């Protein structure tokens, strides 16, 4: 993919994702021809739902696309596929309650307040690829992973300002965004535990959010660099949350790198293991109901960890590093960086004592995610 192609993909998908966040329908242009209207379930209004159904001629194929994880929570009969389509005709309510029900079906934090209405007996078979891409676009927008999917008839008359996005662009988005990362600024930044440091900012073609790299000392690019991949954590890094160990890991990594004579800390815009801060707070609500951190993500409809590591590999490449000694307890970071083309010469342990608020969280990471704790 050329830089121009990557930029085009990033811009097309970013525009469509923002329309989803605004509660507007997006025109999905399917690779095999034809098109579909898609709307994020989380931001769906009854007005938007009625408009979409009206444009499609109220087709019986109109459905709510859910991940298999979320569908299982809702007692929707499985199909053996990762994406489940629940026909809107199956919903037991009529306007103006339909949009509210769809929002409830998508939102796991509403499960207790709005008791589940399953089991749903009728669901469509293998979901078209476009339905999975509608969910992916909702994820890119950091919304709940559920979307309205309405195939359009040939010759449908559409509003002139409707944002369109090719299915191929959504499918290529992750790689395109990583490939288009460029360094946009840098500055000397003495920090409390490492006065000899510089901060580098990297931005993708879609305009953000930015990733950052704190380079400490003068690491030799000819040798494996001591590196830490740290996913941003507003609650832990900035507020000092005791529910996780992120703040300790961040500050501990800076000290360890400085004591070792230099290295790099990549600060990745991947809040909540890639689901975003709002969804992380929803997961916290579920954890307070007794679910562990993995179960909470799955009930929302996400995977246990939604991160991928090509952006980190691209940043290391731009900084001139091809091999790392990785500060981590997470085996998926080792395999993820390796798959992205980075040589991981060594895994360096990086753990801190538990407290009464995060001991169950750390135990879950060890037991269910294989962390070396």
Residue 331: phi and psi, rounded to 5, are -65, -25
Nearest to 7 by CA among 211, 268, 212, 204: 204
Answer whether 274's CB lies under 8 Å from 300's CB.
Answer: no
Helix, strand, coil % (nearest 5) of the chain? 40, 20, 40
DSSP state of 109: G
Nearest to 69 by CA among 179, 172, 160, 146: 146
Task: Output the CA torsion sign for 334, 337, 338, 343.
Answer: negative
Answer whether 216's CB lies under 8 Å from 264's CB.
Answer: yes
Judged on CB neighbours under 10 Å (0-12, 13-18, 19+), 151 is: buried
Q: Is 123 a catalytic residue?
A: no
Cα–Cα distance for residue pair 247/233, rounded to 1 Å = 8
Cα–Cα distance for residue pair 255/235, rounded to 1 Å = 21
Buried-state track 305-327, b at ≥16 Cβ within 10 A, e below 16: bbbbbbbbbbbbeebebebbbbb
Cα–Cα distance for residue pair 98/112, rounded to 1 Å = 19
Cis check: omega of the bond before 209, within 30 degrees of 0: yes
Q: Is 305 a catalytic residue?
A: yes
Q: H/E element holding 227?
A: strand 225-231
Cα–Cα distance for residue pair 177/14, rounded to 1 Å = 10
Cα–Cα distance for residue pair 36/34, rounded to 1 Å = 7
Answer whether 200's CB lies under 8 Å from 187's CB.
Answer: no
Task: Please pick, among 98, 123, 307, 314, the residue that the annotation labels catalytic.
Answer: 307
Task: Please pick, among 305, 310, 314, 347, the residue that the annotation labels catalytic.
Answer: 305
What are the catalytic residues? 305, 307
């Amino acid at each position: 993919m050329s830089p121009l192609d990557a930029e085009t993909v990033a811009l097309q998908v970013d525009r469509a994702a923002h329309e989803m966040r605004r509660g507007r329908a997006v025109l999905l242009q399917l690779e095999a021809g034809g098109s579909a209207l898609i709307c994020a379930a989380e931001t769906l209004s009854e007005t938007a739902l009625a408009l979409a159904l009206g444009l499609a001629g109220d087709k019986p194929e109109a459905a709510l696309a859910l991940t298999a994880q979320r569908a299982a929570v809702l007692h929707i009969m499985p199909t053996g596929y990762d994406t489940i389509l629940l026909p809107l005709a199956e919903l037991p309510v009529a306007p103006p309650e339909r949009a509210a029900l769809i929002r409830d079906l998508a939102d796991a934090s509403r499960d207790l307040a709005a008791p589940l209405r399953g089991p749903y007996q009728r669901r469509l078979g293998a979901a078209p690829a476009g339905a999975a891409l509608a969910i992916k676009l909702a994820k890119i927008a950091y919304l709940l992973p559920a979307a309205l999917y309405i195939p359009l008839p040939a010759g449908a008359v559409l509003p002139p300002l409707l944002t369109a996005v090719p299915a191929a662009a959504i499918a290529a988005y992750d790689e395109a965004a990583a490939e288009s990362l460029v360094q946009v600024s840098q500055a000397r930044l003495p920090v409390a535990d490492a006065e000899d440091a510089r901060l580098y900012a990297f931005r993708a073609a879609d305009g953000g959010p930015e990733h950052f790299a704190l380079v400490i000392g003068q690491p030799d690019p000819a040798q494996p660099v001591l590196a830490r991949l740290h996913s941003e954590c507003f609650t832990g890094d900035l507020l000092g949350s005791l529910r996780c160990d992120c703040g300790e890991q961040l500050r501990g990594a800076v000290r360890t790198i400085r004591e070792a004579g230099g290295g790099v800390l990549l600060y990745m815009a991947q809040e909540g293991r890639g689901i975003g801060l709002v969804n992380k707070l929803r997961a916290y609500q579920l954890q307070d109901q007794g679910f562990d951190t993995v179960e909470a993500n799955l009930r929302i409809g996400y995977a246990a960890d939604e991160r991928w590591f090509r952006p980190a590999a691209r940043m290391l490449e731009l900084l001139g590093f091809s091999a790392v000694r990785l500060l981590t307890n997470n085996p998926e970071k080792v395999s993820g960086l390796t798959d992205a083309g980075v040589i991981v010469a060594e895994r360096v342990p990086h753990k801190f004592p538990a407290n009464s608020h995060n001991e169950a969280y750390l135990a879950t990471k060890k037991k269910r995610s294989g962390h070396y704790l």
